[in-house]
Structure 1
Amino acid sequence: MTSETEVTPKKLNSDESPKGKRRKLFRGGMGLSGKLLVLTILFVMLSEVLIFVPSIANYRNTWLRDRLAVGGVAATLLSESETLSPQVQHELLEATGAQAISLAVGERRNLIAMDSSQMNITKTIDMTRDSPWDAIGCSLQFLTGTRTGQIRVIGDIDMRSGGRVDMVFPASLLRDDLQKYALNILQLSLIISCLTAALVYLSIRSLLLRPLQRLTGSMMRFAESPENAREIIKPSGRSDELGEAEIQLQSMQKSLNQTLNQQRRMAALGLAVSKINHDMRNLLASAQLFLERLEMLPDPTVQRVAPKILATLDRAASYTSAVLSYGKVQEAAPELRVIRLASVLRDVEEVLGLSSYSKGIEMHVNVPETQELEADPEQIFRVLLNLCRNSVQAMEASKGASEVVCRIEIHSEVEEDMLSIYVSDTGPGIPAKAQEGLFKAFQTSGKVGGTGLGLAIAAEIVVAHGGKITLDKDVTTGACFKIQLPHKHGVQAAEKVTRLFPADSSKG
């Protein structure tokens, strides 16, 4: 008896499990949320720097113009006096922060005020000729402290006769004010950057990160238990790309869930078939022994029927030996022989019990007795038997009043180098929904008790013979299958069969 093996899922250690892989992925690294926050702050700070440089230059120009304005007003009011007292000069210099103030009107130049410190002018700034780029470069020099000593600033003042004021300042005075201004701007930029980053982070987290985390979580839960339909994600109804991703993920999870359930069903079916196969072979062997005893009886009917029954039992016994062949890669390689198609169809008619019209179903065979075909007789018998049995079962299930015609018609046509065999019936037909996966395993046409293997096995056998089987969709009543097989095999057919089934392939 076939040994039973129980397949248990392999247990994953903590590092191989989905949660372990996730921990390993983020171990020692920054998550997407943290990276987004840091990048947002950096980009906002970069924008603030691009604004900060021109603002520093503008602050320098404003600082110089304000002092020139104060100095110019004072120089205008005191220009009529030849000299000023030291106290007034000190107060004027204290108010402007300058070390020297002079007024030039035309060719005349008057020194308004000056302290007693030594002059070391390292930079002269003419406000009437100062360009924006010069202002930016000069501001950065003062801000970084690379410019020392005194600076000389020249600017026009509003006088009827025209005039220019000339003032000398210590570089440290402008540097200190620029640094205070830059510190205030930096603090404000940090506050704006953090606030902007927080708003952007919260917005993107709500719109993108949380839905992505939801998708990731659904993938992880489904990976842990793909056979549980409750773990399939439910779309949130979003109309954007993430909503489409949710729909596609749900479709993929449903397909995978159905595939796994089908594989489990196939595994259970294989185990059940192996058990039934063992017992069936024993029963068939016993039936053959009983039939051999019956053959010894002199009754003519027994002598006529017993060989056919024995042949059927032999055929059934061979089926039990190959019943699991469908679970392998392919069916056994066909053993090509020259056969008469009409003889095979008569065997099918007798096995189905249609020769005596006992089931109320007619079988009309319109195939010439001389029609020969090069094929495996047992495999072609299985193909035709499966098709005719499906027709019989469909018509028996839908048979109503006695006037309903139940008939199977089989005829053949030679089309170029192919032999076409048509198997049609007057049954209810095949629903359009079932026609999509008609020749796939476990895809039944809706009949009660069907396994969905008959047409799949028939299609595999026909393809192994170098032909094809199709459903004629133009037929409006019943169902009609068209089997196309090579009419003249010759050397080409033998080579094709050799390619499909190498010499070392095992028989199912």
Structure 2
Amino acid sequence: MSARSSPDDENSGVAADGIRAVPLARGLSTKLLLLTIVFVLLAEVLIFLPTIAVYRVNRLKERLGTAAAVSVVLVQGDTASLSRTAQNDVLMAIGAEAIAVRDGGVSRLLAISETPPKVDAHIDLAQTSMLSEMSSALDTLFFGGDRTLRVFGPVGDSEKEFELIMPDRALREAMLAYSWKVAILALLISLFSAALVYIAIDRVMIRPIRRMTRSMLAFSEAPDDPAQVIKPAARSDEIGVAERELSAMQTRLQKVLADQKHLADLGLAVSKINHDMRNILSSAQLMSDRLREVKDPTVQAFAPKLLRALDRAVSYSEGVLAYGRTQELPPVRRRLRLHQLIEDVRGLLNVEDGIEFVNAVDAAFEIDADSDQLFRVLTNLSRNAVQAMAGDTESALVRRLTISAERLGSVCRILVSDTGPGLPQKARENLFAAFRGSARSGGTGLGLAIAQELVRAHGGAVELLESVGGHTTFAITIPDQPVRLERPGSGVRRLA
């Protein structure tokens, strides 16, 4: 089964071509169906409360109307001559225990059972409100069945007020039967509504979202496969916009990944070439050293140029190899004497040819940094400065490299200044970009890129403060490590 199978594949809960799939129980379709059923049932409950209240009131009014009709007959006749058996038959026929009528302020008992009933609740049908009706209906529905109700009020346009005393057992049974019918009807309505909503939303939203999800999963499995880019539908709504944006993003990402792969392959090839080239150049350096022993004037004239060219080639190869390595390890920071570290940099550079190296850092100045990484940073900046000044052969020019430092609170600032020709505009625009930020012909610009990466690992920064003819200054800012404050008393032991 392919990743572009039918949209109903999600319901199977089985991954297609190894792509993760959402089980049916957790899918959007199931959640939508269940939520629709719940919401419709909640709406039916809100409708049921006033409905059952109206049903109860209408039921009581119906009973009171029947009692009123019987009362008219009893009033016209002689109620005193009505036997007990006849009264019981009348009361049983209408489901009451007593019937009375009030006319002109005078109450008249028309029929009553042998045992006078004890009234538990009084209901005035002329004075009712929806809230009280709903409360009384729920009370009867859940707690009724063994109570006696006194129901009274006018019937129709009659000025007489009729009164009925009745048990609520039959009323509660009728309300329960009605409630079951309403519940079944509500369930059927909710299922039917949920099905309609599900079908509509599934076609309009869920299937397109499922399609986009499947496309993203398939794209993550094979981002270089153009067939995995989603083909957007001709829709003008939010889903259509999302599909078009997803398609454009996947296309751009494929292009970026292709470019990155080409660069990675090229970088690997260059690293291999440079590795072999460095070995060849090292051998060439050994042979060029022997040329100095040859007394031929022509050889002596070209030997220094050859040596400088070889040194540049070796430096270029080493820089490319260093930049192509894996990410630098986190710095292991210690307290260092910066003056001594700068002296080690001076010894490595072996500055000569009239270039003055000034270590202006106080011998007691301390910095919190990784010794090896800070040494590489200072070496790269110093070598760039020395190479920039080495091209000036005029004897009257001042060629000086000065390294100084200052502390501002918990931050150390190292200044590397030279009296070289300054950086050209192109080098300033790509100052810390590898292979683009070199200030001299044949350079790689890797020194500044590596220096910036190492200083950033310390939480600091490298910036060019000034670069004009005769004065260039770089600033290295490195903050001290933050002090970790332990919980008070956590490291203190109580002595006996």
Q: Which TM class, normalised by the smaller chain length?
A: 0.5 to 0.7
Q: Give a deviation string over 1:342-398, Cα, whole Å, max 9, x none.
A: 75168xxxxxxxxxxxxxxxxxxxx9961535289xxxxxxxxxxxxxxxxxxxxxx
Between 1:242-251 and 1:290-299, the stretch displaced more is 290-299
Change (3 A) 1:323 1:179: closer
Amino acid of the residue matched to residue 305 of structure 2?
K
What CA distance in whole angstroms lies between the structure 2 residues aligned with 1:138 and 1:228? 69
What CA distance in whole angstroms lies between the structure 2 residues aligned with 1:140 and 1:439? 78
Q: Give a deviation string over 1:91-135, Cα, whole Å, max 9, x none.
A: 865764444433332255455455667745433323234444443
Counterparts of 1:456-495 in structure 2 under 5 Å? Answer: 457=446, 460=449, 468=464, 487=471
5+ residue gaps, structure 2: 1-14, 329-375, 404-416, 456-460, 480-496
- 2:32 is the counterpart of 1:57: no
Between 1:55-64 and 1:231-240, the stretch displaced more is 231-240
- 2:215 is the counterpart of 1:231: no
Secondary structure in structure 1 of the residue aligned to 2:149: strand
- 2:101 is the counterpart of 1:103: yes
Counterparts of 1:107-506 in structure 2 under 5 Å? Answer: 107-113=105-111, 119-144=117-142, 146-158=144-156, 162-236=159-233, 246=243, 249=246, 253=250, 257-258=254-255, 260-281=257-278, 283-284=280-281, 300-328=297-325, 333-334=379-380, 336=382, 339=386, 343-344=390-391, 370=397, 372=399, 374=401, 421=422, 423=424, 440=433, 457=446, 460=449, 468=464, 487=471, 496=476
What CA distance in whole angstroms lies between the structure 2 residues aligned with 1:49 and 1:41? 12
TM normalised by structure 2 equals 0.60
- 2:75 is the counterpart of 1:79: yes
TM normalised by structure 1 equals 0.59
What residue in structure 2 maps to residue 409 of structure 1?
Answer: none
Secondary structure in structure 1 of the residue aligned to 2:122: strand
Change (3 A) 1:63 1:321: closer
Offset at residue 21 of structure 1 (A): 9.8
What CA distance in whole angstroms lies between the structure 2 residues aligned with 1:196 and 1:137? 29
Change (3 A) 1:418 1:192: farther
What CA distance in whole angstroms lies between the structure 2 residues aligned with 1:442 and 1:209? 49
What CA distance in whole angstroms lies between the structure 1 residues aligned with 2:243 and 2:435? 29
Change (3 A) 1:368 1:244: farther
Offset at residue 35 of structure 1 (A): 3.0
Offset at residue 324 of structure 1 (A): 0.8
How many residues get paired? 390
Secondary structure in structure 2 of the residue aligned to 1:324: helix
Secondary structure in structure 1 of the residue aligned to 2:99: strand
What residue in structure 2 maps to residue 67 of structure 1?
Answer: 63
What CA distance in whole angstroms lies between the structure 2 residues aligned with 1:66 and 1:187? 25
Change (3 A) 1:483 1:60: same
Secondary structure in structure 1 of the residue aligned to 2:397: coil
What CA distance in whole angstroms lies between the structure 1 residues aligned with 2:222 and 2:436? 26
Amino acid of the residue matched to residue 124 of structure 1?
H
1:374/1:488 contact within 8 Å kept: no
What CA distance in whole angstroms lies between the structure 2 residues aligned with 1:419 and 1:244? 56
Alignment RMSD, CA only? Answer: 5.1
What residue in structure 1 maps to residue 33 of structure 2?
Answer: 37
Secondary structure in structure 1 of the residue aligned to 2:77: coil
What CA distance in whole angstroms lies between the structure 1 residues aligned with 2:17 and 2:146? 62
Secondary structure in structure 2 of the residue aligned to 1:217: helix
What CA distance in whole angstroms lies between the structure 2 residues aligned with 1:340 and 1:44? 81
Change (3 A) 1:307 1:128: closer
Change (3 A) 1:318 1:172: closer
2:144/2:168 contact within 8 Å kept: no
Change (3 A) 1:314 1:56: closer
What CA distance in whole angstroms lies between the structure 2 residues aligned with 1:225 and 1:63? 71
Amino acid of the residue matched to residue 163 of structure 2?
D
Amino acid of the residue matched to residue 34 of structure 1?
T
Secondary structure in structure 1 of the residue aligned to 2:76: coil
Secondary structure in structure 2 of the residue aligned to 1:153: strand
What CA distance in whole angstroms lies between the structure 1 residues aligned with 2:223 and 2:106? 97
Amino acid of the residue matched to residue 154 of structure 2?
D
1:468/1:484 contact within 8 Å kept: no
5+ residue gaps, structure 1: 1-16, 347-366, 377-415, 426-434, 445-452, 470-481, 500-508
Change (3 A) 1:92 1:424: closer
